[in-house]
A and B are shown apart, each in its own frame.
Chain A
Amino acid sequence: MVDQNDLLIPERAVGIVGYGAYVPRFRLPASEVSRVWTGGNAGLPIKEKSVPGPDEDVATMSVEAARNALSRAGIAPTDIRAVWVGSESHPYAVKPTSTIVAEAIGAVPNTQAADWEFACKAGTEAIVAAMGLVGSGMADYALAIGMDTAQGRPGDALEYTAGAGGAAYIIGPAEEAMAVIEASYSFVTDTPDFWRRAYQKYPEHGNRFTGEPAYFKHIHQAGSALMEATNTTPEDYKFVVVHQPNTKFPQRAAAKLGFQPEQVKTGLLVPEIGNTYSGAAIIGLSAILDEAEPGDRILLVSFGSGAGSDAMALRVTENILTRRDKAPKTQDYVSRRTEIDYATYARYRGKLVMK
């Protein structure tokens, strides 16, 4: 049982004043992975996944998403008091991605900057922290990003889905918001479903253990608790988006929470771009914001292995109508696709030994 006291609601109302998505242009069909590793006999968890070009990483992708968010927010980059980048594929092991992003968008030097890690929920973790920074009155604007260039061991189940992309959100005062964040709730336990040890290139996972005790349990607990504490039901929401590691999981998790397929489909991008890890739930949200109407309510539930979920209840405002066309929409990136084969993918992702 949870009540109002368990919710995370800042004293000063906050919301999303700007948002921006990014997805690289290359696509690797899941059938290519199956062709190379199973002779084409594997079941395919998605249609295709996005692959970053050789000159792209979490820093460059975050810069573009952040520029899109700034265009929609219409604020000066120098008004941003925090640049936080959530990812599990930061370009450096030691040196922040966030300083590169802050410098490129012109937010330096009067700003916080840090990188966040919590597997696939590092992005929503940064958003909740931004809610606190703005909601306390310490800052007017904070930039939170979830972005990944996910890696899967060649031939592993994850290689079919580990994609690239994400989204950036500028959190600010509710009166300037395109969508007000009415409440959030976080549910966290120590659950070893997926990890990558230091100096290891590829992650390990618990196969079927990643399902019920990890993904489904945390998403259900977070989503149902938030609805219970805010006295809302699935019928109150026009859209729902949950973390999307493959096509089936988010549909099953949403159905278990009581949502209909119609509420899920707008934010369900995984069949076409793969699992974008820290970006997965929040790029689904950006696709929803591209389509939503004022007054629509949205439920978002992320999931990060390790494990935990952040749930947020949002309400779209009139500002969406005048500001969302100021930057490329999520579908502009999704539909910009160049198909590549496994050999090109192996080259672009550094899987070829050169010396």
Chain B
Amino acid sequence: MDIARHWRLKKHRYALQTENQAEAVLAVVGPSSNGHKPHLEEQVAQPETITGEIYSFATVFEAPEGYQEFAPYPVAMVRLDDGSLITAQLTDVDLDDVEIGMPVEMVTRKLRSTVEDRGMLVYGYKFRPMLRQ
């Protein structure tokens, strides 16, 4: 069941948010109210842009089904600032410019369509070179 699988992962995929983070934010911020609410920084830290650097990378020339329209495209292991290592596609970068140690930031992009032209669009995180150095 493709749709259910993608739906379950949306929080993680759209914003690279873990289950624990999602629950923590909800617990601190709480449900909405009509009264004026203090700014976020007064309650919890504003989620920073998720950044890291390229630990290793490769280029996909023979893409799996659903990804052919993007080939060739770079994929990388990204060492996030918190030390964790994650695998993701790179975007907004020319293949020749990718290098180990390149600072990158998380963006939300289209990953694929479940069925060409008429399927559900699947969105998720990718990394790109830092927009602002």
Contact = CB atoms under 8 A, between A and B. Distances in A.
Q: Do A and B belong to a common assembly?
A: yes
A338 B94 contact: yes
Contact of B32 (A59, A81, A100, A106): A81
A169 B10 CA distance: 24
B84 interface: no
A74 B40 contact: yes
Interface stretch (A48-56, A180-188, A281-289): A48-56
A100 B120 CA distance: 12
B32 A53 contact: no
Given A104-B15, A336-B131, A76 B40 contact: yes
Contacts of A79: 32, 37, 40
B5 interface: no
Interface string A132-168: 0000000010000000000000000000000000000
Contacts of B8: none
B70 A106 contact: no
A25 interface: yes
A243 B99 CA distance: 41
B41 interface: yes
B132 A332 contact: yes
Interface string A70-106: 1100111011010000000001100000001001111
Contacts of A328: 131-132
Interface in B109-133: 109-111, 121, 123, 126, 131-132
A60 interface: yes
Contacts of A54: 69-70, 110
A110 interface: yes
A338 B121 CA distance: 26
A57 interface: yes
A53 B93 CA distance: 11
Contacts of A56: 109-110
B109 A55 contact: yes
Contacts of B94: 338
Nearest to B35: A140
Interface string B92-114: 10100000000000011111000
Interface residues of B, number: 34
A351 B46 CA distance: 41
B97 to A, nearest CB: 10
Contacts of A71: 46
Nearest to A110: B32
Contacts of A78: 25, 29, 32
Nearest to B112: A55
Contacts of A57: 110, 121
B43 interface: yes
Contacts of B123: 59-60, 100, 104
A67 B70 CA distance: 25
A338 B128 CA distance: 14
Given A328-B132, A332-B131, A336-B131, A55 B37 contact: no
A177 interface: no
A272 interface: no
A310 interface: no
Interface string B1-31: 0000000001100110100000001000101
A64 interface: yes
A55 B91 contact: yes
B15 A106 contact: yes
A63 interface: yes
B131 A55 contact: no
A104 B109 contact: no
Interface of A: 25, 53-57, 59-60, 63-64, 67, 70-71, 74-76, 78-79, 81, 91-92, 100, 103-106, 110, 140, 173, 328, 332-333, 336, 338
Given A55-B109, A63-B108, A104-B15, 6 more contacts: A60-B107, A63-B14, A74-B40, A76-B40, A104-B14, A106-B47
19 contacts: A25-B92, A53-B92, A54-B69, A55-B126, A56-B109, A57-B121, A60-B107, A60-B109, A60-B123, A64-B108, A67-B49, A71-B46, A74-B41, A76-B29, A78-B25, A79-B32, A103-B10, A106-B47, A332-B131
